[in-house]
Amino acid sequence: MINKALRIMIADPQHFQRLRLERDFNREGYYCIAPVSSLEEMLTLLEYGDTAFDLVLINASLTLDVRFNLLAFCLDHPLIRQAFIYDVPEHRLARLGAKVKARIVFSSIQLPEGVPIKQLIHKVDPPPNDPAHKTVSHL
């Protein structure tokens, strides 16, 4: 059963890429999506928000012009449950791969459409009969 309350953030500077990703999530039945176009918007939403995002998709190009450690930020931020950082240059993947934690994933994929989206959804919102599925109670 789909968790319609699943919160997803898409941080990508390209409007059409945000729309394509949002469309893919909508097709899977997820509609609680916050699209942002800049690092500043993403930081603002996370700084002033009070509810965690179950999945945050971040285009690595958001941090190209600034010195910002996405790995440390995502690992330390209490409102990010899972992060998928895509469009990471190949030469950085090897270095980051050794540091990756289970809830942070790096990829060189330029746009995680189709199958990668389904895999992310399965990780964040597993089917009830999946052994990885855990019942979470919200107060």
Question: Any idea what the CATH number is for the domain that residue 106 is in?
Answer: 3.40.50
Could you tell me which residue, 59 or 132, shows the higher pLDDT?
59
What is the band of 4 on the pLDDT scale with cuts at 50, 70, 90? confident
Question: Is residue 137 in some structural domain?
Answer: no
Question: Is residue 130 in some structural domain?
Answer: no
Question: Is residue 63 in some structural domain?
Answer: yes
- At CA 95, angle to CA 9 and CA 100, rounded to 5? 45
Question: Is residue 67 in some structural domain?
Answer: yes
Question: Is residue 107 in some structural domain?
Answer: yes
- Model confidence pLDDT, tens digit, residues 40-60: 999 999 999 999 999 999 999
> Where in the sequence is the domain holding 55, given as residue range(s)?
8-124
Question: Is residue 49 in some structural domain?
Answer: yes
Query: By CB neighbour count within 10 A (0-12 exposed, 13-18 middle, 19+ buried), where does 50 fall?
Result: exposed
> Residue 136: its pLDDT value, please?
39
**Which own/partner pairs from 109-114 qualify as long-range (CB within 8 Å, at least 24 positions apart)?**
110/86, 111/17, 111/20, 111/21, 111/86, 111/87, 112/21, 112/57, 112/84, 112/86, 113/20, 113/21, 113/24, 114/24
- Model confidence pLDDT, tens digit, residues 77-98: 999 999 999 998 887 777 666 4
Is residue 115 scored above 70 in pLDDT? no
Question: Is residue 80 in some structural domain?
Answer: yes
Mean pLDDT of all residues in 88-112? 75
User: How many domains does the chain fold into?
Assistant: 1
Question: Is residue 98 in some structural domain?
Answer: yes
